[in-house]
Structure 1
Amino acid sequence: MNKKLVATLVLSSVAASVFAVNAGAASDKQVLKDDKGAVHNVVGKLGKVTGATVEERAFNALDKVKGDLGFTNAKDNFKFKKSHKDENGTTHTKLAQTINGIPVYASEVIVHEANGDVVGVTGGFQTLSADATAASVSDAAAVKAAVAETGYTGDLSRPSKAELMFLPQGDKAALAYKVNVNYIAEAPGNWTVFVSAVDGSILEATNHVHAGTGTGVLGDVKTIQTTLTSGQYYLEDRSKYMYTQKGSTIKTYTFNGGTSSQYYMTDADNNYNASNQRAGVDAHYYAGKVYDYYYSSLGRNSYDGAGKTIISGVNYSSRYNNAFWEGTQMVYGDGDGSTFIALSGAYDVVAHELTHAVTEYESGLIYQNQSGALNESWSDAMASVMDSGDWLIGEDVYTPGVSGDALRSMSNPAAYGQPAHMNSYVNTSSDNGGVHTNSGIPNKAFYNFATAIGSRTIAGKIWYTANRDYMTSSTNFAGARAATLQATAALYGSTSSYYTALKTAWSNVGVN
């Protein structure tokens, strides 16, 4: 968000009062609640479970905490989604809340099981009254209504699909179709639209295109990986493990100043030194660096964890002051030369945006309010881990005529209009509930922690593990504190100095 706009927001205080977290360390069960009294974690030694499959054991585990979460029977209220075993042998099984077998949007739990012992349950349960038991509107009609709601009339970048689920609305649950609408022509869009399955009305619509930050193209010479085909070199990197594994590559295209079509960026002598090629060179190079960091340091094979091809498109539109994850690829503008210079030249731009893609495939943090601020903050945090020369975000690309400024500061969020403590939390309906503003609070917590332990790498590993294993799509700030503590306990132990430092880091921003 532009710092001038941030400064106009009215700050208001929010009291944060939660139970003390000792995630993963207690011998007795603890029920953790957020400042509104909602349960977000049950931790401790919760007992043994049996079962032939992880799904069966997860259901048995949930029945152990049904009184705490407020349901009567796990199998009647949850559906298995996926399971993952971490490096320590702990299995993390994610289940979605359901009503009559239909999933409830953004209501999930994660069961943590170690060799038959239940060591925690992340997430909560919502008691909801459904407005219908079956859809009266077709999925095709829902897609048509969703696309119409966005106002876009061109070709979509991928076909829209309708997924039936219940959308919580207070203590009610509206039967709805969740429809994604994605396009990159004209103004970019990565929409999630909820269409009532009862009467076809629009219940909610959010554009998830993420604003980017980064450096411009500075003229530095880089070694890039290309592919020779029919006498021309293409910006296609086949050097990564994902190519050996399944033929996936890193590909970079150009929009040539347009918004609807992408073209190969080729070169006859494999020396991409023309001025109109520089944005592509940096987008390509930094995408490779981000892949390498996630793979080498965190064992993650591309943003989906399974080796998916990474696509970037540069030279988007004219004087376009943004970069974003579209839902299938990265897109970069060249800037207007005043507010921004070409955004694809920055390591932290690419790291930030591709971390949005990682988050989409893991916790799936909803891009609204506190979960949306966490989505932004996690991208800033991982960008600061990979591009570790300072604690600023966007300092080299933002307002090139003004030296020393930035979009955001991890160490001093207030310098650019962000709160650094819960007593300055911004309540607003703009920017999806202030996702680019209130991200300053978890950003400061990350900075506090990383500097206290003297390692961005360790802090980043904990943040990544929390995103992967201990956070759900609706995790809020209190839940993020618990998630990072659980990740720290899993990786380094609950008696470690890291665990103590992390508790202090969160407490110092008012999240307890």
Structure 2
Amino acid sequence: MMSPVLASEAFGASNVSEKVNFNSQMGTPQFISGQLTKASSKAPETVVFDYLTEKQKTFKFKGDSKLSFKVVEKQKDDLGFTYLRVQQVYKGTPVYGAVLTAHVNKEGVLTALSGAPAASLDEKQNLKQTKKLSKKEAVSTAEKDLVKAVGSQPDYEYAPKSESVIYVKDGEAHYAYLVNYNFLAPEPGNWNYFVDAVSGDILAKVNEIHEAGKGAGKPGGGGGAAGGTDTVGSGKGVLGDTKSLNTYLSSSTYYLQDRTRGNGIFTYDGSNRTRLPGSLWADSDNLFNASYDAAAVDAHYYAGTTYDYYKNTHNRNSYDGNGAALKSTVHYGRNYNNAFWNGQQMVYGDGDGSTFVSLSGGLDVIAHELTHAVTDTTADLIYQNESGAINESMSDIFGTLVEYDANNNPDWEIGEDIYTPNKSGDALRSMSDPAKYGDPDHYSVRYTGTQDNGGVHINSGIGNKAAYLLSQGGTHYGVKVTGIGTDKTGKIYYRTLTQYLTPSSNYSQLRSAAVQAATDLYGAGSAEVASVKAAYSAVGVN
């Protein structure tokens, strides 16, 4: 686990003040905030590069920062900040997970830098060696291990993809190939392998499939119906409630295709197979009341509810901010007890009727999966260890906030509507009391093993408890937190996720990021900032 050290210091003549959260494992700062530079009329990226060059000893690189960092995103927000995402590179090759976010205010002052770059790459002996492996050989090497891991040859959704990266492991940097395998059979997988480009060794592997619970591709065609008109139908959901549905009429057939939101919401029938996306859901009378329709009704309706939350509350047009189509497949597999985001679309099993009913019947589950998509296109949190736990926690947080926004029997439990239908009062996870289901509610009792991708679902309890305390208030481990409500909590976490978190973020960086987001929104001396600090102190994150 990372051991961050928080320090407040002014370590530059041009800087008024700096608060530095130092990552001792990486050997570089992971969050710096304050008035980091003087006011300037320079372009924001120039302000950032000048600062990095000035601080190259602190960040442990040599030479012009423009050779070590590349701007990959630049946007201006509604508070007047320009924020940039900056990828660390070494001789033109991206360093995996080493992304910084930088905020420059309207006066041209750099106010925050988030993310820990890899240190002293020019001194790493492995990077002085010449690549010996080809991409094709790397794909073959990783595939042999993958077949052993999953038990048989996967049926790929698309051909394995490979790219060159620098991968840092145990303080040493390696030229590596990042190879991605996306498949549904023999089990859903979205595996990333890191193969040493010199030795051919497998440096690391992680399954990036984002599931609703512990355990348990690219859509194969399946566009929308053409040449018709928008209509409104209705249907009964998994729990028997009737919902109004935006549909599409084409050639006397009604489809679960909603063209009123972004580039559309499309709901497909998986027909209990394991191919995606399946067939666009069709009906003859625009009344989706059959029992087989129920899973599709909820998937379609709740995707719209989640879209509306992000659009109306955060002005985000679909998960990517650019209106991306929302595709869902229901009736996936037979008695499949999970739901997942596969990097391209949402997928929902029917459950076995005992552990789960159709997983699309839970609004928080659908909002959870769609938030994974938001994360993939913003912070891109690596789905392993602490960054993976934060990834899961963000999905739980926004799954709950969408429930509150829609007034859909909101609570601080996850999956309660679709879990163990014959047993009342339980859920997959509890945000108010993570320990209720065996998850940690304090950093001191975090899981440090390797199961569950290093505890991504388990350790989400730490972030979940902090979010619950921030919203609702309470005393935990002797620390009193004053609640600020769901609306302000949502604004703080949305800004934290989309503007401050980076792929390798740990919980300490999350605390710094949330404090900075609250500072941007409400002011450094605000009650909201005080509550954020207290919430994270209450769960042992400093």
- TM-score normalised to structure 2 length: 0.85
Match for residue 57 of structure 2 among 48, 64, 67: 67
Cα drift, residue 35 of structure 1: 7.1
Deviation at 1:149, TM superposition (A): 3.6
* TM superposition shift of 1:69: 2.2
Shift of 1:39: 2.1
Alignment RMSD? 2.3
Distance 1:175 1:34, change over 3 A: closer
Q: Residue in 1 aligned with 2:137?
A: 141
**SS of alignment partner, residue 336 of structure 1:** coil
How many residues were matched structurally?
A: 489
Asked if residue 409 in structure 1 is aligned to residue 399 in structure 2, the reply is: no
Query: For 2:45, what is the secondary structure of its paired residue?
Result: helix
User: Aligned residue for 1:107?
Assistant: 98
Q: Distance in 2 between matches of 1:419 and 1:218?
A: 31
Matches of 1:187 and 1:15 in 2, distance apart? 32
Spell out the pairing of 1:305-316 with structure 2 (5 A cutoff): 305-316=321-332
- Name the CA distance, whole Å, in 1 between partners of 2:535 and 2:99: 27
User: Does the CA contact (< 8 Å) of 2:381 and 2:504 recur in 1?
Assistant: yes
1:463 pairs, out of 493, 504, 527, with 493
Partner in structure 2 of residue 235 of structure 1: 256
The Cα of 1:142 is off from its aligned counterpart by 3.0
Larger mean CA deviation between 432-441 and 199-208 belongs to 199-208
Give the corresponding residue for 1:260.
275
2:146 to 150, 172, 188: 150
* SS of alignment partner, residue 192 of structure 1: strand
Amino acid of the structure 1 residue aligned with 2:285: D
State whether structure 2 residue 334 is matched by structure 1 residue 318: yes
Distance 1:372 1:63 in 2: 31
The partner residue of 2:79 within 49, 63, 88 is 88
Report the secondary structure of 1:253's partner residue: strand
Distance in 2 separating the partners of 1:259 and 1:17: 43
Deviates most, 194-203 or 407-416: 194-203
**CA distance in 1 between partners of 2:392 and 2:187 (Å):** 21
Deviation at 1:130, TM superposition (A): 5.2
Deviation of 1:100 after TM superposition, in Å, equals 1.4
Secondary structure of 2:160's aligned partner: coil
156-165 or 78-87: bigger deviation: 156-165
1:259-338 residue pairs with structure 2 within 5 A?
259-261=274-276, 262-338=278-354
Query: Which of 439, 457, 460 is residue 439 of structure 1 equivalent to?
Result: 460
Alignment CA distance shift 1:21-1:160 (3 Å):
farther
Q: For 1:45-98, what per-residue CA distance to the aligned partner results, in whole angstroms no more than 9, with x for missing partners?
A: 111376864433321132233233222331232222211211111111111122
Distance 2:438 2:117 in 1: 35
Deviations 1:156-187 (A, max 9, x none): 32343211111101221111111222123441
Name structure 2 gaps, 5 residues minimum.
10-14, 214-236, 405-409, 473-481
Cα 1:98/1:317, change in 2 over 3 Å: same
Q: CA deviation at 1:249?
A: 1.0
Q: What amino acid maps onto 1:65 in structure 2?
A: K
Partner of residue 420 from structure 1, selected from 429, 438, 441:
441
Structure-2 change in CA distance of 1:207 and 1:21 (3 Å):
farther
Say whether 1:476 aligns with 2:506: yes
Q: What are the Cα deviations for residues 167-225 of structure 1, in whole angstroms up to 9, with x where unaligned?
A: 10122111111122212344111111112222444322211222216xx8101110111
Aligned counterpart, 2:477:
none
Is this contact kept in 1: 2:210–2:341, CA < 8 A? yes
CA distance in 2, matches of 1:63, 1:48: 15
CA distance in 1, matches of 2:52, 2:104: 11
User: How far did residue 20 of structure 1 move?
Assistant: 6.3
Q: Which residue in the other structure is 1:131 paired with?
A: 126
* 8 A Cα contact 2:100 2:113, kept in partner: yes
Output the CA distance in 2 between the equivalents of 1:21 and 1:416. Answer: 38
The sequence identity of aligned pairs, in percent, is 43
Of the structure 1 ranges 115-124 and 462-471, higher mean CA displacement relative to structure 2 is found in 115-124
- Amino acid paired to 1:309: A
Secondary structure of the corresponding residue to residue 502 of structure 2: coil
Q: Quick one: which amino acid aligns to residue 139 of structure 2?
A: V
1:38 CA drift (Å): 5.1
2:229 counterpart residue number: none
- The 1-side partners of 2:521 and 2:457 are apart by 30
User: How much does 1:453 deviate?
Assistant: 3.2
Mean CA deviation greater in 66-75 or 174-183 = 66-75
1:147 Cα offset (Å): 4.2
Give CA-to-partner distance per residue, 1:217-249, whole Å, 9 cap, x none: 101110111111111111111011x2xxxxx21
Letter in 1 for 2:71: F
Q: 1:130 to 1:397 in 2, by over 3 A?
A: farther
Map of 1:11 onto structure 2: none
1:19 corresponding residue in structure 2: 6
- Please give the alpha-carbon distance, in whole angstroms, between the structure 2 residues aligned to 1:30 and 1:279: 49
Conserved 8 A contact 1:49-1:61: no
Q: Is the CA contact (8 Å cut-off) linking 2:154 and 2:184 kept in structure 1?
A: no
1:186/1:285 Cα in 2 relative to 1: closer, same or farther (>3 Å)?
A: farther
Q: Which residue of 2 aligns with 1:245?
A: none
Distance 1:193 1:125 in 2: 21
Separation in 2, partners of 1:75, 1:106: 18
Alignment of 1:387-398 (within 5 A): 387-388=403-404, 389-398=410-419
Pick aligned residue for 1:119 from 111, 123, 135: 111
- Secondary structure of 1:296's aligned partner: helix
Which runs of no fewer than 5 residues in structure 1 stay unpaired? 1-13, 243-247
**Does the residue aligned with 1:337 lie in a helix, a strand or coil?**
coil
- Aligned-residue offset at 1:144: 4.0
Equivalent pair of 1:184/1:260 in contact (CA under 8 Å): yes
CA contact (8 A) 1:466 1:484 kept: yes
2:360 to 344, 351, 374: 344
Distance 1:470 1:15 in 2: 18
- The answer on whether the counterparts of 2:28 and 2:59 sit within 8 Å (CA) in structure 1 is no
